[in-house]
Amino acid sequence: MFLTSKVTPEKLENWLKQGKSADVVFERLHLHAVGRRLFNEPQFNAWVQYADELSVKIPGMSAISTLTRQYGDEVLFRMIETAKKSSDTESLATKLETQQMQHWLRSRKDPDEVFHLFEVDNLWGNILKKTEFTAWSKYVDNLNTNYPEEPMWMYATLSKRYDDEVLFKMIKEAKLVEEYKTIAIKLEDEWFQVGLQRRKIPYKALIDLGLGKSRNTLVGQLMDEKSLANIWVKYLQAFNMRYPDQKTTTIQSLTNSFGDVDVTTMLHTAKMDIWTRNLASQLEVAQVKMWLDSGKTTDDVFKLLKLDKQAISFQNKVLLNTWISYINAFIKENPNKKITLFSALEIRFKDRQLNEILNVAKKFPGMESIATKIQTVNIQPLFARNESPRHVFTLLGLNDEGDHILSSPLFQTWMKYVEDFNKLNPKKQESWFDPLRIEYEYGGTRIVEMALQNPSTVQIGKKVEREWLNFWLDREKLPKDVFNFLELDKAGEKALTDRKFNAWIKYLDLFNERFPGSKTTMIDGLRASNNDLVLLRMFDTAKTDPSTEKVVAYLENELVHKWLVEKVPPTLLYNKVGHIKSSGEMIERYIKKLAATEHPN
């Protein structure tokens, strides 16, 4: 449809003088009837020019106002986007796009609606890197520039569509690219501002950030300045500064998020790692202080840690140790309650549970004396029942004494009980070694090593080691397996200088003597767990120790003999072990012997 003779430029000029509204002229030009083909109509350009000139005379009567009434924001926005793609209409569309944006700013159009219009919510991947997001963020910036008294937050819109965990993943990624770094930092700052404005409690922020999903590594994350957990710590600090009446701590937030049991377990796990040990220890101290400051009794903490759910024995020793640690702190704060508290423990708990408590309490200087006294008094009636030493071992809680059990006075007392029991019950003889072996099967070598380091327990350490060797021998364990049982496979190149290597040699001799049909040589036993490269490194290390020089010389000869039997190509040996210091002489010796066997005189 083109301008007719009835609507000439002169006519438009006349309407302009009369102040005829853009809406009326829009209909007079029949533009309302063309639908979304509007930009293809020649008279549309004339109408836009008319509306622009009219708006100079009468502000408010703009082209974009009329078009918005005709089509609505979304349809008009799509029409403009389509028109921008054609060279014929691009210029006009761009002009109207600017006017539409200004119109939205004047009317303070909700950023949520503009977000939808820009179809940012339909984008895949990191939206912070998309041009649509950049355009939308610019709109929010302009809105805040025009109306600084009531700022709008990008985060407020984004948080309706993405949780904090997802948002911060996008922020972290965007901060790595210079082009998007500024907007990413701004969004991160908005997260702080909105959270503080809404008084979001730190523990709620922690959960929203998804940090609860990685609780086993959370302590480590708290130490990483680039981690999400570190951002949370900064939020907690900012929250405390802004709302001192609601001040909280890291340990309180962790407890509110995960509960006392999980936090205790989490801190114990973190203490196993040297990197997180110090912080975990500090948080443990803070945990005890938190309970003390809140007026928790020892029974309150007992229940918080759900130890009241564990009958007969405290299966979770981590929780038990934490509770005893709290008892120690409680007594320091209330020294006059020590006797009453321990008397209550003695009445409430019996046998195994009581001993488990006392065994831990004895490790604290302030409780050692009273715990030992109570245990001594209660052991005598237990022994008088003439129960099986194996059962008494458990009732005394000796299975939890750890690597230092052989130096424990309680263990020595139990050993005496085994002796007395066997005298009183000649037909029910029991081994003192069996309970120890069963409970410390995977730590047998460690308890021996610990005992041998203490002059007062050297004899019992040697005695236990002999029993282990006899036990393995009775079960016909192969020397290669005993090599691993003694953890010599973990010693690497230091295996030959390890004290336990002599124990293994002793076992090897005993095994070969008892089972001649399964006789094993020393070199075969070593090669079963180590390749030749590792063996040569062992030899080099052992040569520096005078006590192992002879055994090294013997093993080198044995290894050369093995190569002869296997007829290993010299080139292969050079490739595999040629870089080892001692290999040159051995390989040369091997080559000479190999030549002698191939070309005898």
Is 279 within a domain?
Answer: no
pLDDT tens for each residue of 425-466: 999 999 999 999 998 887 688 999 999 999 999 999 999 999
Task: Give CA angle at 509 (508, 511), nearest 5°.
Answer: 65
- Burial (CB < 10 A; 0-12, 13-18, 19+), residue 253, is buried
Is 301 within a domain?
Answer: no
Is 473 within a domain?
Answer: no
Residue 213, pLDDT > 50, answer yes
pLDDT tens for each residue of 468-518: 999 999 999 999 999 999 999 999 999 999 999 999 999 999 999 999 999
The residue segments making up the domain with residue 38 are 1-107
Best CA proximity match to 453, nearest among 516, 491, 404: 404
pLDDT tens for each residue of 150-196: 889 999 999 999 999 999 999 999 999 999 999 999 999 999 999 99
pLDDT tens for each residue of 300-359: 999 999 999 988 899 999 999 999 999 999 999 999 999 999 999 999 999 999 999 999
Cα distance between residue 65 and residue 51, in whole Å: 10
The helix (H) or strand (E) run that includes residue 206 is helix 202-208
- Burial (CB < 10 A; 0-12, 13-18, 19+), residue 355, is buried
Query: Helix or strand or coil: residue 475?
Result: coil
Instruction: Retrieve residue 116's tokens.
Output: 């939808």
Residue 1, pLDDT > 60, answer no
What total of structural domains would you count in the chain?
A: 1
- Burial (CB < 10 A; 0-12, 13-18, 19+), residue 160, is exposed
- For the entire predicted model, the pTM comes to 0.78
Is 48 within a domain?
Answer: yes
Is 430 within a domain?
Answer: no
60 phi, psi to nearest 5 deg: 105, -25
Q: Positive or negative CA dihedral for 321, 325, 330, 336?
A: positive
pLDDT tens for each residue of 541-581: 999 889 998 999 999 999 999 999 999 998 998 888 888 87
Instruction: Retrieve residue 247's tokens.
Output: 């001040």
Is 380 within a domain?
Answer: no
Residue 4, pLDDT > 60, answer no
Cα distance between residue 460 and residue 432, in whole Å: 12
Is 60 within a domain?
Answer: yes
**What does the radius of gyration of the chain's CA atoms come to, in whole angstroms?**
41
Is 1 within a domain?
Answer: yes
Q: What is the reported pLDDT for 93? A: 80
